[in-house]
């Protein structure tokens, strides 16, 4: 199938897990009614964003994939509606905890699990307390409708993430997100920077990008964050073709011709002309290559 309709969603999250899952189901259903075949929900939508503070009790929110109620619910929903659902969860496996994304195909089957690679740590976003760095590598899945690549929130600021997903053949890149105000500096409003970064990934890799962010004001023990929504869909040139507001629940859709996008990526030459023989500095922290004998 060449024609693909995708959807981005955004919503506020309250303290009741079941209510959040039900609200997410409503948005997915609305998107499917509008023809969406791939529907993206925001990061960690089962709960409020608990990473505002370091609280040991929140560690127990993590569950194995097989025991997670959102995964079970969304698998049944994907099967019933015939839609692909990338689902963001807090995953526990033995004694390890990850910020993970479960890729659910349109038949309800789990295709695999991506674990967030880049873990932030700053005022209001204390994720290193809750999550280990992901060990899955960057993944692209053959879903019923398209080859879908996905990463999670802070991953979206790194061009390497999007480039690897594109190199692996992604037709679409999905970024579930939880981002808003900066508790330490109320003058910072990163929405435009956030959007432009991902628009650049779409343009540089000639792959459409879907970003779903949460909305609402959430209070923690030490700070509060107002999440600024602004979920969007960008085409393969980086142009925003659908965008939500900062505070309203929303479902966005956009349609793409996958065959046309694949032809454009091939013919434009950005992958043909890559020079992997001179990119060694990308594998260093300071941009300096050192001969082994001089270390």
| Catalytically annotated residues | 43, 116, 153
CA 13 to chain CA mean position, Å: 17
Q: Yes or no: say if 66 and 50 are a contact pair by the CB < 8 Å rule.
A: no
Q: Which two tokens stand for residue 134?
A: 């992901």
- Taking the CA atoms of residue 71, residue 76, residue 81 and residue 86 in that order, the dihedral angle to the nearest 10 degrees is 10
b or e along 125-161 (b: 16 or more beta carbons within 10 Å of the residue's beta carbon)?
Answer: bbbebbbeebeeebbbbebebbbbbbbbbbbbbeeeb
Say how far apart CA 116 and CA 199 lie, in whole Å: 20
In three-state secondary structure terms, 256 is strand
- The residues pairing with 232 across neighbouring beta strands, listed in sequence order, are 211, 243
Q: Yes or no: say if 279 and 225 are a contact pair by the CB < 8 Å rule.
A: no
* Sign of the Cα pseudo-torsion (16, 18, 23, 28, in order): positive
Place of tokens 């969304």: 74
Q: Which two tokens stand for residue 72?
A: 């079970």
State the number of CA atoms in the 13 A half-sphere of 94 facing the CB.
2
Place of tokens 């905890």: 97
Residue 192 to residues 123, 158, 186, 197, 235: CA-CA distances in angstroms? Answer: 20, 16, 16, 9, 17
SS (H, E, C) 233-247: EECCCCCEEEECCCC
């Amino acid at each position: 199938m060449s024609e693909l309709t995708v959807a981005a969603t955004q919503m506020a999250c309250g303290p009741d897990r079941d209510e959040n899952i039900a609200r997410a189901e409503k948005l997915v259903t609305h998107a499917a009614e509008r023809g969406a075949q791939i529907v993206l929900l925001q990061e960690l939508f089962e709960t409020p964003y608990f990473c505002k503070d370091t609280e040991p009790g929140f560690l127990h929110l993590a569950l194995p994939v097989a025991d997670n109620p959102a995964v079970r619910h969304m698998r049944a929903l994907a099967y019933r509606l015939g839609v692909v659902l990338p689902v963001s969860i807090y995953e526990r496996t033995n004694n390890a905890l990850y910020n993970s994304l479960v890729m659910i195909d349109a038949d309800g089957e789990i295709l695999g699990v991506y674990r967030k690679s880049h873990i932030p740590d700053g005022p209001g976003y204390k994720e290193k307390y809750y999550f280990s760095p992901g060990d899955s590598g960057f993944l692209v899945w053959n879903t019923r409708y398209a080859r879908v690549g996905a990463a999670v929130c802070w991953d979206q600021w790194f061009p390497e993430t999007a480039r690897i997903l594109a190199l692996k053949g992604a037709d679409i890149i999905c970024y579930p997100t939880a981002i808003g105000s900066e508790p330490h500096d109320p003058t910072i409003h990163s929405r435009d920077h956030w959007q432009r970064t991902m628009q650049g990934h779409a343009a540089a890799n000639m792959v459409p990008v879907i970003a779903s962010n949460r909305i609402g004001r959430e209070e923690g023990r030490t700070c509060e964050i107002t999440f600024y929504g602004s979920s969007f869909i960008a085409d393969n040139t980086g142009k925003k073709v659908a965008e939500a507001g900062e505070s309203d629940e929303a479902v966005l859709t956009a349609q793409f011709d996958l065959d046309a996008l694949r032809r454009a990526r091939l013919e434009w030459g950005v992958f043909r002309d890559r020079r992997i023989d001179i990119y060694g500095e990308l594998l260093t922290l300071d941009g300096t290559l050192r001969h082994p004998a001089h270390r």
